[in-house]
A and B are shown apart, each in its own frame.
Chain A
Amino acid sequence: MKIETETRDDHQVKLIAEIEPEVYEKSKRQAARKIAQTTKIPGFRPGKAPFEVVRRMVGEKALQEEALDILVDEIYPQAIKEAGINPSGPGALEEIVSIDPVKFSFLIPLAPTVKLGDYSSVRLPYEPTPVTDEQIDQFIERLRTSYSTVTPAERPSQEGDMVYLTISGSLVHPEEGKDPSVIEERPLQVMIRPTDQQNEEEWPFPGFARELIGLSADEEKTISHTFSEDSHYETLTGKEIEFQVKVTSVKGVELPEVNDEFAQTLGEFQNMEALRSSIRTGLENNGREEYDRDYYAKLIDMIGADAEVQYPPQMLQEEIDSLLRSLEKDLADQKMDLETYLKVRETDRETFIENEIKPAAIKRLVRSLLMDEVAHTENLELGQQELDASFNETMYELQSSGDFDKLRKKVPSKRLANAVATEAALRALNRRVLERLKAIATGQAEEEASVAQVTPAAEDNPNEEPAAEDTASEQAEASPQDNPEPPKPEN
C-alpha cells in the first residue's frame, strides 16, 4: 500500500492510499461471497454460488462497489496506522481517485493538539469575598419579613405596613396610535420599608412604596414617575408614566423579635448564634460557588490566552450539536421547540447557530481541551476512592433530580451505570484539574514542589504505572487534600 499524506489548514489530513491489485482482487471475491449471501441466484442455495456466477448475475459494477466498500473498511485503520496519524474521529472517504489501480483519498480529522503556554507561571490570587455581618443581618431581616404576622389595620398606612392595592399604569405622552397602557390593572402588595432599607429592585420603581404612606383603604392616588436612563426597564427609559393606585387594605406587619426563640422556630437552631453561623456558611457556600465559577473561568481563559489549540471542524460541529440539544431540552421544559424560539428571537437557524451557539461552543471546546491537556501534562490520575465518591455523588444528584425513574425505565441498568460512571469520572477529574490549576495560580504548587524535592515521596506525582501498594498509599494521602472544601450543601 502506497500512502501519501497532506495536512490541511483546518486540522485535517488528506490521505491518499494506493492499493495493490491483488488486494483488490481479494476483496472482490469477498464481495462476491457477501452478495451471494443476500441475492437470490437460481439454481444455487444462498451463499453457494461461485464467483463467476455471481459476477454474471449482479454485474461487474455492483461487484466493484461492494468490493470498494469492503476495501475501505479494511484499509482505513491500516492506512492510519502506517501514516502515523492520530485521528480524533471517523474519517470520511473523500473520493475514489481511480479504480485501476485502486486509489482512495480520505479526509481524516486529527486529534486536537493543545500547546500549553507557560501555564505554571499564571498567577491569579484566590480571594473569595468574605461574608460580612451586614449581609447576615440583611438575610435575617428578610427572614423576619417572611415570618412576620400580618394584621388588618383601620388606619392610614405608615412605615412598616403592608399595603394591598390595585395598580394600573399608562404613558403620559403615548406615541400616536399606540396603546398608552403599560400595566394592566392588577393587584399588588407592597411593603413600606424604612428609608434605610430601601430595596433597589423595587417594582415598579424604587421609592414607589414610600408614595403610599398616609393612604388608607379605598383611597386612590395618581403617582407619576419618569424612568431614569439607567432603569432596568429598557423600553421605558426616559418616559413618564402615571400609575393609578387604589388601596384595598392596609395591614400592619409585626416582625418577630430577633432572639433565640425566633431562631428555634426556624428549625434546628438552638439560639441566635447557631442561626447566624448557619446563615454564614450558607452564604459563604453560595458566594464561593459563584466565585469559583468565575475564578476558574478566568483562570482557564488566562491559560488559554497563551496556549495554542487546534481542532478539526468535526469536533466543533459535535460541540455545537450538543449545545443545541441541551438548548432544545431546556426549551422543551418550557413547552417550546427550537423553531418557535427562533421565531420569537426573530432569527433563523443558521444565523442563530453562527452568532450564538458557535462562539459558546468554541469556548467550551477549547476549555475542555485545555483541561484535558493540563490533566495530561500534570499527570493527574484518579484513585478508586475518589471515583467511588464521585460516582455516589453523581448518582445521588441524579436520583434527587426526579427524572431518574423515567430514565431507569428507558435505559438498561448496566448502560445507565456505565454512563453515570463516566460522568462521575469526568467530574472528578475536572475538579482535580481545577484544584491543581488553583494551586498553581495561587503559588501553592511551587511550595509543594520545593517540599517534594526535599522528600521525594511527596504526593501529586503518580507514576505512570504505580504498584498496587503505591496506589493505595497514594489514595490515602491524596484524598484528604483533594477535597479541601467540604461537600456543599444545596442551599
Chain B
Amino acid sequence: MLTIYDVLRSPLVTEKSNYQVNKLRQYVFSVAREATKTQIKDAIEIIFDVKVVRVNVINAPAKRTRRARSRRLLVRNSGFKKAIVTLVPEDRIPIFEGVE
C-alpha cells in the first residue's frame, strides 16, 4: 500500500529543472515507480500545502553504461519515474533550492 509519504522520493535539481521552477512554476521530483498522477498531486498538496494545477509524469528509462574500470561489464542504471508538478501562480515550494 503506497501512502502519500512514500510517493515523493527526492527533488530533482538540474539546470533544466531550475529553469522550470523559475519560469514555469513547475517543480520536478523523482517519484515512486507505481505512483499515479493523482497520488502525486495529493502528496504535494498535503506535504507542501500548495495547490497543484497539473501533474505530468515520465518514466525515465534505465540506461546502460559500462563499468569504468573493466570496460567489459555492462551495468544498468535504474530508471525512475519523474513527475513535473505545476503549481498555481501564488504558491511555491520553499525547500526547493535555487529559489532562495
Binding site for B on A (CB under 8 A): 42-45, 48-50, 52-53, 56
Contacts and interface: CB of A to CB of B under 8 A. Distances in A.
12 contacts: A42-B14, A43-B12, A43-B14, A44-B14, A44-B15, A44-B18, A50-B18, A52-B98, A52-B99, A52-B100, A53-B13, A53-B97
A72 to B, nearest CB: 28
A52 B15 CA distance: 13
Interface in B12-71: 12-15, 17-18
Chain A's interface: helix, strand, loop or mixed, by majority? loop
Contacts of B12: 43
Contacts of B15: 43-45, 48-49
Contacts of B97: 52-53, 56
Given A43-B13, A53-B13, 6 more contacts: A43-B12, A43-B14, A43-B15, A43-B17, A44-B15, A52-B100
A42 B100 CA distance: 19
A462 to B, nearest CB: 64
Interface of B: 12-15, 17-18, 97-100
Contacts of B14: 42-44
Nearest to A44: B15
Nearest to A49: B15
Nearest to B13: A43
B15 to A, nearest CB: 5
Contacts of A56: 97
A208 B24 CA distance: 109
Nearest to B14: A43
A44 to B, nearest CB: 5
Contacts of A49: 15
Contacts of B13: 43, 53
Contacts of B18: 44, 50, 53
Nearest to A55: B97
A254 B52 CA distance: 122
Contacts of A43: 12-15, 17
B37 to A, nearest CB: 24
Nearest to A45: B15
A52 B94 CA distance: 12
B19 to A, nearest CB: 10
A50 to B, nearest CB: 5
Contacts of A50: 18, 98
A449 B38 CA distance: 102
Which residue, B12, B15, B17, B100, has most C-beta atoms of chain A within 10 A?
B15
B76 to A, nearest CB: 19
A59 to B, nearest CB: 14
Contacts of B100: 52
A52 B99 CA distance: 7
A45 B18 CA distance: 12
Contacts of A45: 15
A108 to B, nearest CB: 40
A43 B97 CA distance: 13
Contacts of A48: 15
A43 B12 CA distance: 9
